[in-house]
Structure 1
Amino acid sequence: MKKLPMENWICYACGYVFITTGVLKLLVDDFKMIFSNLGLPYPDSVLFLVAITEIVCGALIVSKMYVKRATAALIFIMLAAIFLTKIPILTTNQGFLSFAFEARLDIVMLILLVVLWQHAPGKTFR
């Protein structure tokens, strides 16, 4: 049985997370409220754009096409998510441990995306 390289597993994991998250953003109405509470202009349009970007970029990463471009877009989304939804936890009385718990998946995904971005050769990952 042939072993899959670690890069493949990272691609599959990242793609899975972003595809499922993007689909949920389109199907679950709770996300509309979350985006409305962020104070962003046109929250419904931003939600739709983020969801479609996550689905498309997740699919590109799984198929190992345009990995560098896809990871760049998702890194931007993850940084925005951390700054808009997780950093404010530090400014409340909830403290660092609450922040660390709430931001755990975001931070892990950001690290994995950076690893993919660093190792992706231009157009494809092959």
Structure 2
Amino acid sequence: MHKSLNRMDWTRMVVGYVFIASAVPKLVVHDFKGIFLSLGLPFPETILYLVAITELICGMLLIGGMYIKQAIAPLILIMLGALYLTKIPLFLNQGFVAFIFESRLDIFLLVLLLLLWQQNRDKSVDE
């Protein structure tokens, strides 16, 4: 029998899609290396590929509905890292308005990940 998708299933799949769509350019577009170089991180190219592969695998796990809680945790860390490395300096250099505009999608994804985490945690407690 076909199971209908609920709101959280749709949310999980859309979040998974966003991370897959974010991972692919990191793996195939050369310009992303420059972005990671500018962050001042050690081994920027290695970190770029680790982030991209993590986003790709975790995004696929979310879409497939497998190991959801395990897939969400590294994505939360990636989003926190993105906010810390790219948006906080923007706030310090360009101000609050630039920060809230540029960080809107990062914060939105972080909130969705936290909602999915909470929903998955509640589900595992009930079972």
- The TM-score, its normalising length taken from structure 1, stands at 0.91
Q: 1:98-122 CA distances to partner (integer Å, 9 max, x unpaired)?
A: 1111001100000000011111158
Deviation at 1:4, TM superposition (A): 2.4
Identical-pair percentage = 53
Amino acid at match of 1:7: M
Unaligned runs of 5+ residues in structure 2 are none
The question of 1:32 aligning with 2:33 is answered yes
Amino acid at match of 1:67: I
Measured in 2, the distance between the counterparts of 1:36 and 1:96 equals 25
Deviation at 1:95, TM superposition (A): 1.4
Q: Secondary structure at the match of 2:41?
A: coil
Q: CA RMSD in A?
A: 1.7
Name the count of aligned residue pairs: 122
Unaligned runs of 5+ residues in structure 1 are none
Aligned structure 1 segments of 4 or more residues deviating by more than 6 angstroms = none
Amino acid at match of 2:112: L
Q: 1:40-82 CA distances to partner (integer Å, 9 max, x unpaired)?
A: 1110000000000000000001111111011000000000000
Paired position in structure 2 for 1:117 = 117
- The TM-score, its normalising length taken from structure 2, stands at 0.90
